[in-house]
Structure 1
Amino acid sequence: MRAFFESWLPSAPTANRREQLRASFGALCGILLTALLSQLLLQSTHAATFLVAPIGASSVLLFALPASPLAQPWSVIGGNVVSGLVGVACVHWFGDILPLPLLAGLACGGAIAAMFVARCLHPPGGAVALTAVIGGSVVQAAGYEFVLMTVLADSVLLVLMAVTYNNLTGRSYPHVQHAHVNPHATRDAVPTVRLGFKPEDLDAVLQQHNQVLDISRDDLESLFMQTEQRAYQRRFGIISCADIMSRDIVSAEFGTGLDDAWQQMRAHRVTCLPVLNRARRVIGIVTQTDFLDHGGLDDYRSIRQQLRRFLRKSGVTHTEKAEVVGQIMTQHPTTARTDTPIVDLVPLMADSGFHHIPIIDHEQRFVGIITQSDLVAALYESRFAEAAA
């Protein structure tokens, strides 16, 4: 009997207590401010005319599941408004000829169909459609005005609250999808999806599954990729960045002259220089590509002359010409910590096109760098060691 009832329960939440409190407090603030601003905006004292109950359900999605496709701005605003319009239309067209149970079912079913067509599926939309049917004389008297004023205002205000709160508390909203894009702008798939499962495999399985999932396709693919990385760590052991990074690194400062930086890169046969401040914290990275891009070196026949002209100091105090590394470097480069497993760098270097990743310690100070060559060698050694065992 116990197993029977336990089968009714969903699996335990994966979010920790801090995330649960974050979502709960967000809903509190979101509904409170939405109600106050909506009441002020609509100049109303009757709760039914400035706050609709389904907004409470929307707050669950917006603050507890901000990455869900059902919680994105168009899903919330479009889903609630479209559903409300369907509900009001059902009352106007069939309210006098259909019994209430059938009218309620027609409104909810029609709302779901309309949301599918408009690509704004939002579960609370069904409640908005039902509210338009059974909401009482105040709602039915307002009709379409109820939807285009109250429902729209509540939805927009709650979305604005969610955008502000989620981003202030470390949750990106609206949720941005990160598709695998080849950095070289070719038709080849990025390296991490050339082996193992492929995007078309996932598409085929989702099509066969034929159900609406409360997670986007790109997020699902990302979870699978991260699962593969964890499985790799378990199989070959955890190798950290500190184990393979280069430590004796030539670096530059913001004010290092372009000519000096170029000469250092040439002398040490490296293709990048991390740019550090006096506290040895990474403020940028300058690569050969930066020199080429900023120097306008797009004509191979005159590249030597152009490079000399670009590196030569102008000799004046005010000039638009770049003079120091800080003017051409890539600011806020992607970094990794010394204890970061090297498998976490694979997507960055294989898919995103990074050739060098500066390594920092627990105090955010620069301690080394890992190149694509370092990573390839480490992965090869781990596979070789397993084969030998």
Structure 2
Amino acid sequence: MPASQPPQRLTLLGARQLNSRPREWLRATCGAAIGLFVSVWVCQLMFGAAVATLLIGPVGASAILLFSVPSGALAQPWSICGGYLVSAVVATLVAQLGGHSLEMAALAVALSLIAMFALRCLHPPGGAVALCVVLAGPALQALGEKAVLPVMLNALSLLAIALLYNNLTGVRYPKRPQPQVDLHHTSDSMPEMRVGFTDADLDAALDDFGGFVDLTREDLTQLVRKVEDAARRRSLGGIQVADIMSRDLRCAAPETRVREALDLLHAHRLRVLPVLDAERQLVGIVSLTDLANFVGRSGSFRLLRRGGGDKSPLSDVMTSPVIAVSPQLPISELTPMLSSQGLHCLPVVDEEKLVGMVTQTDLIAALQRSMVLGA
């Protein structure tokens, strides 16, 4: 049984499988311990041990969030800073107006929760902050309205450690959406984003779900897309690049002249030519776009027709190194490469030898046939 899979008796109590590995457990544990120690130590230096001890509970809860679930919406910088600030201010006002009683503490937690919802900075340890401020001991009560200062010092210290530790240990924090590369500089969405669910569908599903989801909207979109990709790979898993690639290829050598390459492309109505060395290994690729750009730098196309390109070898024009794929690659992996990366075809290499080419047309034909046979 996997380490993260809870036993059946615990499942009955609401335990769920954790999608993390023991290595991540160790990383988060060390980070939480370091963050808690440094934050309390800094607070102790500035405000004394008594104040630091009174506020240690919320810091421990926040440390677990910031280091074990750093991608969660509740663990983002605005959540901890806004949550701590709102809770401390509300609790301070409640305590000054109503005193340091249990009733006032419950009221402070309720008002803090409403404020955090309104300001979109929900952070559960903020409730503990409100409790600590209202039910504080003499050391914290003596600070009066300045009780906000040690609270925010804890928040900022812990956040600084989280920013440093998480990023140094390979976890990007804070969570930011992946930048999308717009190769065509248009307002159209990426090709793989045009089919399937839309933002409106996601919003409707979240509204229908009703409860709070501790994922940012971007993370939830990415998660659903990955599920879709996994389902697509499973349905097309039996089809490999070797099944759809072209094998009878027209190739050129690095010393082939530009004019010869143009004639070869025109004669066979091709858009690209792989460039092979003497050992038949792929060393580059040249396309009509490469040749057009070369002609634009060297002069007019008219000059090229008159022989201006006879002395220019493809080694001066070709793109190198080349992105290539394996014959055993499932065709489901080709979709992002031939759509969002601006590639029209991909060389297929086996044991460093060129064995074929796969194009957008090959992929479309394979997907269409798979849909027809699967219908």
TM over 0.5: yes
Please, which moves more after superposition, 117-126 or 338-347?
Answer: 338-347
Q: Does 1:26 align with 2:31?
A: yes
Please list every run of 5 or more consecutive structure 1 residues that lacks an aligned counterpart in the other structure: 275-279, 313-323
Note if 1:83 corresponds to 2:95: no
Residue aligned with 2:170, SS = coil
The residue type equivalent to 2:371 in the other structure is R
Distance in 1 (CA, whole Å) between partners of 2:252 and 2:153 is: 54
- Structure 2 CA distance, aligned partners of 1:261 and 1:249? 15
Q: Runs of 5+ in structure 2 lacking a partner? A: 1-6, 276-280, 310-315
Deviation sequence 1:60-97 (CA, Å, 0-9, x none): 1111111111111111111112211111111112217x
Asked if 1:65 is matched to 2:69, the reply is: yes
**Superposition TM-score, scaled by structure 1 size:** 0.69
State the AA in 2 paired with 1:68. G
Q: Distance in 2 between matches of 1:145 and 1:192?
A: 53
Number of the residue aligned with 1:383: 371
Name the CA distance, whole Å, in 2 between partners of 1:286 and 1:144.
70
| Aligned mates of 2:295, 2:38 — CA distance in 1 | 52
Q: Could you report, residue by residue, the CA deviation over 1:25-80 in whole angstroms, capped at 9, with x for unpaired residues?
A: 2212222333344445x274445279532111111111111111111111111111
Indicate the residue corresponding to 1:216 in structure 2: 216
Task: Give how far 1:266 is off.
Answer: 8.8
Partner deviation per Cα, 1:195-216 (whole Å, 9 max, x = no partner)? 3332211111212323221112
Provide the residue aligned with 1:321 in structure 2. Answer: none
Which amino acid is 1:216 matched to? T
Question: Is residue 2:198 matched to residue 1:198?
Answer: yes
Task: Indicate yes or no: 2:124 matched with 1:123.
Answer: yes
Aligned residues: 353
- The CA deviation at 1:379 is 2.6
CA shift, 1:261, in A, is: 9.0
Q: Structure 2 counterpart of 1:202, which letter? A: L
Q: Which residue identity is paired with 2:212?
A: V
**Rounded Cα–Cα distance in structure 2 between residues aligned with 1:138 and 1:251:** 82
The answer to whether structure 1 residue 16 and structure 2 residue 21 are counterparts is: yes
How far has the Cα of 1:364 moved from its partner?
12
The equivalences for 1:109-258 within 5 A come to 109-148=110-149, 150-178=150-178, 184=184, 186-240=186-240
In structure 2, the residue matched to 1:318 is: none
Distance 1:43 1:296 in 2: 69
TM-superposition CA deviations, 1:144-182 (whole Å, max 9, x none): 32322x222221222222222222222211111248787
d(CA) in 2 for partners of 1:161 and 1:343? 41
CA distance 1:15–1:85, change in 2 (3 Å): same
Of 36, 45, 52, 1:48 maps to: 52
On the 8 A contact 1:48/1:139 being kept in 2, the answer is no
CA displacement at 1:23 relative to structure 2: 1.5
Q: Is the 8 A contact 2:55 2:129 kept in 1?
A: no
Is the Cα contact below 8 Å between 1:50 and 1:154 reproduced in 2?
no
CA distance in 1, matches of 2:115, 2:293: 50
Displacement after TM superposition at 1:330 (Å): 11
- Do the aligned residues in 2 keep the contact of 1:54 with 1:128 (CA within 8 Å)? yes
Counterparts of 2:360 and 2:187 in 1: how far apart (Å)? 22
Contact 2:84 2:155 in 1 (8 A): yes
Q: Provide the aligned C-alpha RMSD in A.
A: 4.8
Conserved 8 A contact 1:242-1:339:
yes
Alignment match of 1:95 (pick from 93, 99, 113): 99
> Hey, what's the Cα distance between the residues in 1 that align with 2:348 and 2:163?
32
Contact residue 236 and residue 386 of structure 1 kept, 8 A: no
Give yes or no for contact 1:286–1:325 (8 Å, CA) kept in 2. Answer: yes
Task: Tell me which amino acid in the other structure corresponds to 2:364.
Answer: V
Find the aligned partners of 1:162 and 1:179 in 2 and give their Cα distance. 23
Task: Say whether the 8 Å CA contact 1:73–1:159 is kept in structure 2.
Answer: yes
Choose 213-222 or 46-55, whichever is displaced more: 46-55
